[in-house]
Amino acid sequence: MDGLTVGRVVHYVLSEKDAQIINDRNAIGNDLSLEERILALVYHGGNRVREGQHCAMVIVHIWNSEGFINGKVLLDGLSDFWATSLYYSDLKVPGSWHWIEKA
């Protein structure tokens, strides 16, 4: 697949399972004070996400030339999400990645 390289930013479409994992992880510690969050060192915090949401993702590993990749999904908050064994889809279905749309 032309243009596929480690470090390139693409879009990842969150699946329902991804959104649940991220939202559950981000909710842990919401009732803690800032000092308690800092001491816990596990607080992720961030805005809620939803299935079908397009997020920026940096490619960190390319499995093959057909477009199977791993990436770090950049989230609005203190965390990111490691997405693995992703496939390319022009249809932009949840759980797939695609090139960023032109503005």
Positive or negative: CA dihedral 32, 33, 39, 43:
positive
Q: Classify residue 84: in a domain, yes or no.
A: yes
Q: Classify residue 1: in a domain, yes or no.
A: no
Q: Classify residue 3: in a domain, yes or no.
A: no
Contact 74, 55 (CB under 8 A): yes
Q: Classify residue 85: in a domain, yes or no.
A: yes
**Per-residue pLDDT at 29:** 60
Q: Classify residue 17: in a domain, yes or no.
A: yes
**Per-residue pLDDT at 75:** 93
> What's the predicted TM-score (pTM) here?
0.82
| Structure tokens belonging to residue 34 | 């800032």
Of 97, 99, 103, 100, which Cα lies nearest the Cα of 13?
Answer: 97
If one counts the domains in the chain, the total is: 1
In order along its 103 residues, the chain shows pLDDT tens digits of 889 999 999 999 999 999 998 888 776 666 666 666 665 555 566 789 999 999 999 999 999 989 999 999 999 987 889 999 999 999 999 999 999 998 7
**Per-residue pLDDT at 41:** 52
**Per-residue pLDDT at 6:** 97
Contact 7, 56 (CB under 8 A): no
Residue corresponding to tokens 């989230």: 75
Q: Classify residue 4: in a domain, yes or no.
A: no
Q: Classify residue 26: in a domain, yes or no.
A: yes
Gap between the Cα atoms of 14 and 2, Å rounded: 24
Residue corresponding to tokens 């994992």: 21
**Per-residue pLDDT at 31:** 65
